[in-house]
């Protein structure tokens, strides 16, 4: 049979990378680093300066330090633009080496980050915008009402609490199992979650210190990662 019209199949050694593969890897790594700096660092600094305040106490503090509070809350809100792309980049690498864990982790992480974004937006309205147009006691009352409103609970608190914690724990385990990232970064990620959700702060040091180190480490690993590993080729495979 003639092979004149046969379509050539590229060999593994000559196959080209999918379009924008390197750009997507670099963007995911930068997003994770940006998320660490915009989300973890402001909360780490804020805790060191103010201690473990309730949200109502934060509103009072905001009226006394409006510029610092607005800068912190704006950074937190902007960080939500980068969290999902960065974490999806990590999940993309893990899916080749820990597919089952990643399959469970990824939808939980996306759902949880959606809820977390709604938490940040609600907090920005109640804690940053409301004190500029309402008396402090009314702003506090608005914050308390929002935290117990069925819509806020369903769209913000429930997905954040039920999605973020198990999803990121599973993703941290997938990072460990994959062997594609530094394993201490996975330990720091899970340690942050346990500390942030279940344990009290230790003096001026808050759990977000672990988050900042972990996400910067993972993001830097994505940026420096060999193309073959990003595409799912096992180390040492030909």
- The confidence band for 6, taking pLDDT boundaries of 50, 70 and 90, is very low
How far is residue 195's CA from residue 186's CA, in Å, rounded to a whole number?
Answer: 14
* pLDDT classification of 16: cutoffs 50, 70, 90: low
Q: What is the mean pLDDT of the chain?
A: 86
Calculate the alpha carbon distances from 154 to 116, 159, 162, 236 in Å: 12, 7, 11, 47
- The pTM of this model reads 0.85
Q: Of 171, 179, 169, 216, whose CA–CA distance to 41 is shortest?
A: 216
Where do the domains of the chain lie? 21-230
Output the pLDDT for position 15.
Answer: 47
pLDDT tens column, 197-220: 888 877 778 899 999 999 999 999
27: left (phi over 0), alpha (psi -120 to 50) or beta: alpha
Render pLDDT for 57-116 as a digit per residue (tens, 0 to 9).
Answer: 777 777 788 888 889 889 999 999 999 999 999 999 999 999 999 999 999 999 999 999
Tokens encoding 84: 């999902």
Q: Once rounded to an integer, what is the mean pLDDT over residues 183-200?
A: 93
Mean pLDDT of 146-155: 88
Q: pLDDT: is 21 or 31 the higher one?
A: 31
Of 44-53, 110-119, 171-180, 201-210, where does mean pLDDT reach its minimum?
44-53
pLDDT on residue 235? 60
């Amino acid at each position: 049979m003639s092979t004149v019209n046969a379509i050539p199949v590229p060999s593994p050694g000559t196959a080209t990378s999918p379009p924008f593969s390197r750009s997507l890897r670099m963007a995911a790594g930068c997003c994770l680093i940006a998320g660490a700096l915009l989300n973890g660092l402001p909360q780490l600094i804020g805790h060191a300066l103010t201690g473990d305040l309730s949200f109502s106490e934060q509103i009072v503090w905001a009226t006394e330090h409006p510029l610092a509070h607005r800068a912190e809350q704006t950074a937190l809100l902007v960080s939500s633009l980068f969290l999902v792309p960065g974490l999806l980049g990590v999940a993309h690498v893990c899916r080749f080496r820990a597919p089952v864990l990643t399959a469970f982790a990824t939808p939980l992480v996306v759902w949880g980050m959606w809820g977390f974004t709604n938490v940040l937006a609600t907090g920005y309205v109640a804690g940053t915008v409301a004190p500029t147009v309402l008396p402090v006691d009314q702003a506090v009352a608005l914050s308390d009402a929002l935290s117990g409103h069925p819509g806020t609970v369903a769209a913000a608190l429930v997905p954040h609490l039920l999605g973020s914690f198990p999803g990121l724990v599973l993703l941290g385990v997938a990072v460990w199992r994959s062997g594609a990232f530094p394993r201490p970064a996975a330990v720091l990620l899970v340690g942050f979650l346990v500390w942030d959700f279940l344990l009290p702060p230790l003096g001026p040091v808050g759990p977000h210190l672990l988050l900042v180190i972990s996400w910067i480490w993972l993001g830097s690993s994505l940026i420096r990662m060999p193309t073959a590993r990003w595409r799912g080729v096992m180390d040492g495979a030909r």
